[in-house]
Amino acid sequence: MNPKHHDIDRLCVDTIRTLSMDAVEAAGSGHPGTPMALAPVVYTLWQRFMRYDPADPLWPGRDRFVLSAGHASMLIYSVLHLAAVKDVASDGRVGERPAVSLDDIKQFRQLESRCAGHPEFGLTTGVETTTGPLGQGVATSVGMAIAGRWTAAQFDRPGFEMFGYDVIALAGDGDVMEGISYEAASLAGHLKLSNLCWIYDSNDITIEGNTDITFTEDVTARFEACGWRVGHVSDANDLDALEAALDEFRRTDDRPTLIIVKSHIAYGAPNKQDSSSAHGAALGEKEVRLTKRAYGWPEDSQFLIPDGVMEHFASGPGARGRELSEDWRSRFKSYRAEHSDLADAFVRMRGRKLPAGWDRDLKTYEPGSKGVATRTASSDVLNQLGERIPWILGGSADLAPSNKSLLTFEGAGELTAETPGGRNIRFGVREHSMFAIANGLTLSGLRGYGATYLVFSDYARPAIRLAALMGLPTIHIFTHDSISVGEDGPTHQPIEQLASLRAMPDLIVLRPADANETVDAWRVVMALRDEPVALVLSRQNLPVIDCDRCAAPQVGRGAYILADCVGTPDVILIGTGSEVALCVTAHDRLVDDGVASRVVSMPSWELFERQAPAYRDAVLPPEVRARVTVEAGAVFGWERYAGPTGEIIGMRGFGESAPADDLTQKFGFTVEGVLAAARRQIRL
């Protein structure tokens, strides 16, 4: 059955609209307004513009579409269904099942549906990144665009210009208001990312009402000041104007593009051009019927896909994408014949596989009086790994000399507008967008990393959380990990950050005790394929633990016996990071006094909890109740390892501005403090 008086374009657009209305109505929740208003935009983008093969959704040469306005998720679910995008299994194989079936759409926002309330990477094939928190999608798209240019710079060769791609993100007023979007846009303009386009739906509506109550800035002027080319489409329903604006984006080779599109939310019903209620709620049966009548649609129809709609999509993105992807794969065979090493590296990178010998002969450190800061050891091993694994790249939020996060080996280079194949990204003071951009790098097959002080992980939390939610092995390097920051004071001294990061599901937190544990921590980091990591490092020099007297590092086990006694210990000292050395010295003193003492280094709670119960009980025997935990951070959570009667040495308030030695004395992070706590435990 076909609605009357529709040309094929209008028929397809209205199909997207009515699928969105029906899905939201069936769910009883969701946002129908924006999908209805922007259906022409997404239709034009997929039908006329994007290089995308629905039969091969992970084809490397595809353009990336990011729905940053994730509340409009029915837009992407509708087009994934209508374009007949195939599902890709966890092993990377393309199956026959559709990525989004009509039954999936009917289960919009329901338990275990592929059509979640906001698009989720890994749940639904065709969703390039998880969006929802406003601004995250556009910021992540900057990382994808950087990765596209970097990949082309690294792998393209004369006659084989085939590894770049364009990134198109659809943003709303909320995305543009969020501060992260300014950070990301500023860096994108600085880097002249001409393969990046944001389409800004300027509909003048947010949940609270018209945007003029909060948002009256000149968006065009803002983006032009950031170095973007800005285009305008005065009516979202003008398909030809949309196509012309997208074509102009593709012709622009010296800056990113913003296309400002004017739309009317919940467009459709007679005399109803605007509705803030439709932004976040179902329209209601009466309004749905009126809207369908305005479209010339059967009023009683549900989830109707008229004859010819899917065939039209098949003749557009289906046929065009198939031709493009087949041509790409044909050329890749020739490329592999002429540039086998590069081709093998590209395939390995995309599969998250490491080169042979990647961790061979990593630097080791000998005990000495001076000690080594774990940030310094991290820098050493990062550079060794960077030479061996060419797709590691990232940078710091204007703190590279302090974080020691630069890749300094010969040929690493700076990533700039003129040198897009460099390995060092200067993010500037932009912590929030830095880690979202790093997620974009990692989503594109690279190993992205960012670095800042641990206390500023709070600025980066939404992006870290999304990395964990998506299962991305993004690397988060955090230095200046305790009150030993010293004179910079409590604004720069992290207290609750370790506990906060440990509370996040699916994030691995590593706080190594010395230089050699840091090297071993990097082995763990690089072996991760579907989990992010927070690597927490010291500013100050730490003693290098003597492996001839103590155990070799076993970071991969999360916790291990570093120094021990014969038989069952009288007391167990448990530490992380810089405090482990205090435990070792206290242990030596206890042994001299005839006390059976054990030291457990616990660089990662998460990895320790994954070990078999027998191993955990061997490290921390349940019958040994005399325990002392030592960490220069919040005490929150340590009761699980201290036990009901153990003593926790940690921070119960904020720090102070003073030299580091004075602070460690005041707050009890001393050998004497550990000894006193151990003796109290033994007397219990």
Give dist(CA 475, CA 533) in Å, integer. 5
What's at 404, amino acid-wise?
K
**Would you name the residues annotated as active-site residues?**
431
Radius of gyration of the chain from its Cα atoms, rounded to whole angstroms: 28
With beta carbons less than 8 A apart as the criterion, state whether 195 and 254 touch.
Answer: no
DSSP symbols for 591-649: HHTT--EEEEE-S-HHHHHTS-HHHHHHHS-TT---EEEEEEEE-TTTHHHH-SS-EEE
Burial class (CB in 10 A: 0-12, 13-18, 19+), 84: middle
- The dihedral built from the CA positions of residue 652, 657, 660 and 666, taken in this order, carries a sign that is negative
CB atoms within 10 A of CB 460: 24
- Helices within 191-275 (DSSP H only): 219-225, 239-251
With beta carbons less than 8 A apart as the criterion, state whether 134 and 175 touch.
Answer: yes
What's at 417, amino acid-wise?
A
For 94, list phi and psi in degrees, rounded to 5: -80, 130
What is the CA angle 304-307-313, rounded to 5? 95
Q: Report the C-alpha dihedral over residues 113, 443, 466, 136, rounded to 10 degrees.
A: -100
DSSP symbols for 1-36: ---SS--HHHHHHHHHHHHHHHHHHHHT-S--HHHH
Question: Is residue 670 helix, strand or coil?
Answer: coil
Give dist(CA 427, CA 431) in Å, integer. 8
What is the edge-to-edge ordering of all strands in the sheet holding 571-575? 560-563, 597-601, 571-575, 627-634, 647-651
Secondary structure (H, E, C), 544-603? CCCCCCCCCCCHHHCCEEEECCCCCCCEEEEECHHHHHHHHHHHHHHHHCCCCEEEEECC
Give dist(CA 433, CA 456) in Å, integer. 13
Give dist(CA 393, CA 475) in Å, integer. 10
Query: Which tokens hold the place of 172?
Result: 């709303």
* Residue 456: CA count within 13 A, CB half-sphere: 22
DSSP symbols for 141-175: HHHHHHHHHHHHHHH-BTTB--S---EEEEE-HHH
Strand partners, 66: 169
